[in-house]
Copies of this chain bind each other. A is one copy, B any other.
């Protein structure tokens, strides 16, 4: 066997100056004017990156092809040419809905202010005479008010199988209201809206918002509708957070609370997963720090972010059953572009979503989820902030130095054995101090019957978080807490169970509301 040992130990420094292609070559290969390439450091902009095929055919192996990148590039081209013909893309919408606009300025938890705010909403079932049969349904991150089809909009809703005559939210009994959240892009005020102060879109001049801000905006709608007390507040995922936030903010105005696959505060793992999505999105140069509304939207970043999100929506065992190790086309050689069936599924999920939802809304609403913490320490500090910022609603709109300009610490994070600090707001879920913090925080809900639903296979909002809510409510003195946990035998659908499991999720909700 011919072989050769390097005779001496040496540093593995390989020659770097050998160009693969000269600049002239590159220009030819990329089919663009060589003048554009005089600076070899100039990165290609996103839709001119045609493949730099090797010049000769003498290489050991063929060049890989990248159909997934070709697809992304044609998508960009398509957006550009459609826009040149028809003007920029239309706004995001899931169709006809009602809108309510409050002209009273809204102060947000972290000091932001909205001169006016619109909430998009839809309703199903009849409101009774004393308005005592209203169920407020809160949505997950990216959902619109269109939870179910109706006369005005026959398109299927995101909870189609759960709302209707005889269903989980029985429209023969209840008047169901679903809103698009503040910060969203389906009709409610969000980053894509016009700032009335200067007639320009907010973009990333939109203020940081919280679950409580969203809930306050919803209750303005209820005020306007003359609904004093809800029969029930119901929500899943982020909606489960809002449902609890509503219970804390307006305990006297809520009859029952349902929180499905939600939590009392976000834990670092779910923050990490959302962080990854935001970072990927913000790295898309088309995002342009939020100012893309009259340009090509950051569809690549959105596609990538949605793929990461999709990984967290289901469970490993479910994919094991559904996809296993099947390849999309086993007769073809493996590729770096999507290849296994699971990959084409993720790719498709990203593709479907990338122009369906506003990128800035994703950032702000996802951040609001991270900030969610019903512990008393956080509530107190927000209360203080709101007091301090009250004056801002009355003031004129002048330049303001309180930009959200958090910098990374100079000294990067260093691995430590334990940097737990009990003076900090709440950490470990089995931490007694943290638990007291939550018990005090959730105590306003002590007299509201609550149903808390969790799913064992959920990675994003793990079942221990719903157990935490249940234990906390009980410790706070609530004697009417029902807890349902779907084991892995019952549902492998992970976080998405709330969208799919009509029997177990829908059934539990129905019997709880009709007690």
Pick from B45, B64, B279: contact of A204, CB under 8 Å = B64
Residues on B with C-beta less than 8 A from A192 are 14
A198 with B59: CB separation less than 8 A: yes
Answer whether residue A247 sits at the interface, using C-beta atoms and an 8 A cutoff: no
Separation in Å of the A85 CB from the closest CB of chain B?
Answer: 13
* Alpha-carbon distance A278/B307, docked complex (angstroms): 12
Given contacts A65-B403, A344-B408, A397-B60, contact A429 B320 (CB under 8 A): yes
Pick from B95, B294, B364, B421: contact of A20, CB under 8 Å = B294
* Alpha-carbon distance A177/B309, docked complex (angstroms): 40
Residues on B with C-beta less than 8 A from A19 are 294
Contact code string A258-283 (vs B, CB < 8 Å = 1, else 0): 00000001111101110110111011
B427 with A325: CB separation less than 8 A: yes
B334 with A272: CB separation less than 8 A: no
Residues on B with C-beta less than 8 A from A276 are 304, 307-308, 311, 346
Given contacts A66-B289, A275-B346, A340-B370, contact A14 B193 (CB under 8 A): yes
A424 with B326: CB separation less than 8 A: yes
A344 with B412: CB separation less than 8 A: yes
Closest to A343 in B: B275
A61 with B207: CB separation less than 8 A: yes
For this chain, the copies found in one complex come to 2
Pick from B187, B291, B351: contact of A412, CB under 8 Å = B351
* Alpha-carbon distance A276/B13, docked complex (angstroms): 31
A46 with B285: CB separation less than 8 A: yes
Residues on B with C-beta less than 8 A from A51 are 289
Interface positions, chain A 59-99, Cβ under 8 Å from B, are 59-69, 71-72, 80, 83-84, 87-93, 95-99
Separation in Å of the A384 CB from the closest CB of chain B?
Answer: 13
A103 with B418: CB separation less than 8 A: no
B65 with A404: CB separation less than 8 A: yes
Of the listed stretches A106-114, A134-142, A158-166, chain B binds A106-114
Closest to A321 in B: B428
A49 with B397: CB separation less than 8 A: no
Residues on B with C-beta less than 8 A from A275 are 307, 338, 340, 342-343, 346
* Alpha-carbon distance A266/B192, docked complex (angstroms): 42
Interface positions, chain A 316-375, Cβ under 8 Å from B, are 316, 319-326, 328-330, 332-348, 351, 363-364, 367, 370-371, 373
Given contacts A100-B5, A342-B268, A343-B272, contact A324 B205 (CB under 8 A): no
Residues on B with C-beta less than 8 A from A391 are none
Answer whether residue A514 sits at the interface, using C-beta atoms and an 8 A cutoff: no
B120 with A12: CB separation less than 8 A: yes
A272 with B346: CB separation less than 8 A: yes
Of the listed stretches A35-43, A236-244, A501-509, chain B binds A35-43
Pick from B16, B101, B208, B291: contact of A6, CB under 8 Å = B101
B400 with A20: CB separation less than 8 A: no
* Alpha-carbon distance A412/B367, docked complex (angstroms): 31
Given contacts A291-B21, A325-B427, contact A336 B205 (CB under 8 A): no
Answer whether residue A195 sits at the interface, using C-beta atoms and an 8 A cutoff: yes
Residues on B with C-beta less than 8 A from A113 are 60-61
B96 with A10: CB separation less than 8 A: yes
Closest to A336 in B: B363
Answer whether residue A200 sits at the interface, using C-beta atoms and an 8 A cutoff: yes
Answer whether residue A486 sits at the interface, using C-beta atoms and an 8 A cutoff: no
Residues on B with C-beta less than 8 A from A96 are 9-11
Closest to A118 in B: B6
Given contacts A100-B3, A283-B300, A304-B279, contact A93 B13 (CB under 8 A): yes
A1 with B224: CB separation less than 8 A: yes
Given contacts A67-B406, A406-B339, contact A97 B12 (CB under 8 A): yes
Separation in Å of the A308 CB from the closest CB of chain B?
Answer: 5
**New A-B contacts (15) at CB < 8 Å, excluding given A52-B289, A59-B200, A63-B403:** A2-B104, A11-B95, A12-B186, A17-B294, A20-B203, A40-B294, A57-B399, A58-B197, A62-B403, A64-B405, A66-B204, A322-B418, A330-B424, A337-B406, A348-B413
The 27 sampled A-B contact pairs (Cβ below 8 Å) are A3-B223, A6-B98, A6-B99, A12-B187, A17-B294, A20-B201, A42-B45, A54-B198, A56-B198, A59-B205, A61-B205, A62-B401, A64-B290, A64-B404, A267-B316, A271-B340, A272-B342, A282-B336, A316-B462, A324-B428, A325-B426, A326-B419, A326-B421, A334-B371, A336-B364, A339-B406, A344-B408
